[in-house]
Amino acid sequence: MTDLPRLARPADAPAPGIGIVHLGLGAFFRAHGALYIEEAMARSGGDWGILGVSLRHADLRDRLEPQDYAYTACELGPEGESLRIGTAVRSMLVAPEDPDAVLAAMADPGVTIVSLTVTEKGYCHAPATGRLDFAHPDIVRDLADAARPVSAPGFLCRALDRRRKAGLRPFTVMSCDNLPENGALLQGVVLDLAARMDAELARWIEAECVFPCTMVDRIAPATTDADIERLARRTGIHDAAPVMHEPFRQWVIEDRFVDGRRPALEAVGVELVEDVRPFEHMKLRCLNGTHSALAYLGYLAGAETVSDAVARPALAGFIRRLWDDEILPVLTPPPGVDLAAYTHALTERYANPGIRHRTWQIAMDGSLKLPQRILGSVSENLAAGRTPRGLFLVIAAWMRYTSGVGEDGQPIDVRDPMADRLRAVWQDGAEPAAIVSGYLAFDEIFPGALAADPAFSAGLTEALADLLRDGAEVAAAQYA
């Protein structure tokens, strides 16, 4: 439907100056943070326009540029869709095309926040330790060529160094990724890299820069060509880069910013708090943990989306038991939050038929996600003398998924930085115990103390044997 008129920025849309550079501009941030920031500017003013940066590809820039970076945000509720036009994004750069332009934008004194949604793998760290992986190819390149960084930590270090040398204040570095204590993790990898580059730079960053922790929550499934065509038929306008999202949203931010400079986010429902950890642990374990459970078990059972998966009684009952028996007992609720009510609301969000969040999409990069979403709950249950059989089954389902062959014998397109190494564990005729042993040898994923726990390896072996014998849905039903 490209013969239709192209979406344009509304004539009456504000034109704020650039105050935020966002690395990894994608669907989630445009469906979440960018909308909050737009609302905050409408309420309280300020030059908080967003310059987006793609660290890899030009596709999104090429879709947004003809629309002057406006896009449709489509809220998918149980009763139907509602639309709004997002206008907080003012421009976009593609880092491989001109890394110096990205560094110049980040070093501009008008920019006071650099935010990120680069996914777990964008931090170039080892999930089991949280430290920078100096063998990561992007980090090797960053250290070899100071003028052309490629990783998010590389751009942050080089841009902060420009500001230091120019006598400018640093920007606030704000992670918006689903990682526990994401600000502290990001600070750690940046300081690791900076120390290797220049010890004085590392000391300046540690003394002057701020890395607030955040928790973000909104389900935003990947936009499909069918979504674009449906919106075009409804509106008579072609938008090449709309975003889809559920009605629910939440943003919790540790209220620490360089010189206190930030948008008035509290005016539009963002929670500014002293300690984000209870919120992020709740979300990572309750939502992201069960999302992963539904992704692996659901995909293996033939469920294309999360809503399809929770429509199956065995899988819906399984995640309910996960919450009640294995996740909530080792979770400290945030102040004023009823965890039972929170998980009940998650069930309703998962069942929303308007959200087609593909299990295959959620299943990506499991080697990076499981340590954050699953393994903490496992360790704390074992330390308390409980056997988390349901969480063992989730890990076993991930193992089966990463074998690259589904229960129907068809190949699985596994997208994971360790995909080849994981698949190699599945040698012909390998028994469950040998497969589990092979996976537990990956210290990038499994902390040494957990991998060495006999109860953990025995529980995983039993869960994998059940899964291979009975299939995902039956194995989940036996637990539920």
pTM: 0.89
Contact status, residue 212 vs residue 152, Cβ threshold 8 Å: no
Among 213, 202, 223, 137, smallest CA distance to 173 is for 213
**H or E segment to which residue 64 belongs:** helix 59-64
Structural tokens at position 347: 């069930």
CA–CA separation, 417 vs 123, rounded Å?
A: 13
CA–CA separation, 232 vs 193, rounded Å?
A: 46
Residue 429: pLDDT band with limits 50, 70, 90? confident
Structural tokens at position 433: 């115990």
pLDDT beyond 80 at 258: yes
- Could you give the dihedral angle defined by the CA atoms of residues 229, 234, 238 and 244, in that order, rounded to the nearest 10 degrees? -70
Instruction: Over range 413-420, report the average pLDDT.
Output: 96
- E strands of 87-125, at which residues? 89-94, 113-116
Task: Write the pLDDT tens digit of every residue in 144-169.
Answer: 998 899 999 999 999 999 999 999 99
CA–CA separation, 145 vs 71, rounded Å?
A: 36
Instruction: Report the length, in residues, of the chain.
Output: 480
Bridge partner residues of 411 (DSSP): 405
CA–CA separation, 34 vs 36, rounded Å?
A: 5
How distant, in Å, are the alpha carbons of 46, 351, 355, 463 from that of 77? 31, 11, 8, 36
By three-state DSSP, how is residue 21 classified? Answer: strand
pLDDT beyond 80 at 399: yes
pLDDT of residue 4: 94
pLDDT beyond 70 at 480: no
pLDDT beyond 90 at 27: yes
State the number of CA atoms in the 13 A half-sphere of 255 facing the CB. 9
Residue 356: pLDDT band with limits 50, 70, 90? confident
Instruction: Over range 297-310, report the average pLDDT.
Output: 97
Strand duo 214-217 + 250-254: pairing = antiparallel
Q: At what angle do helices 313-321 and 472-479 cross, to 10 degrees?
A: 50
Tell the residue number behind the tokens 């960018």, with chain if given: 34
Question: What does the DSSP assignment read for 295-314?
Answer: HHHHHHTT--BHHHHHTSHH
Instruction: Over range 173-184, report the average pLDDT.
Output: 95
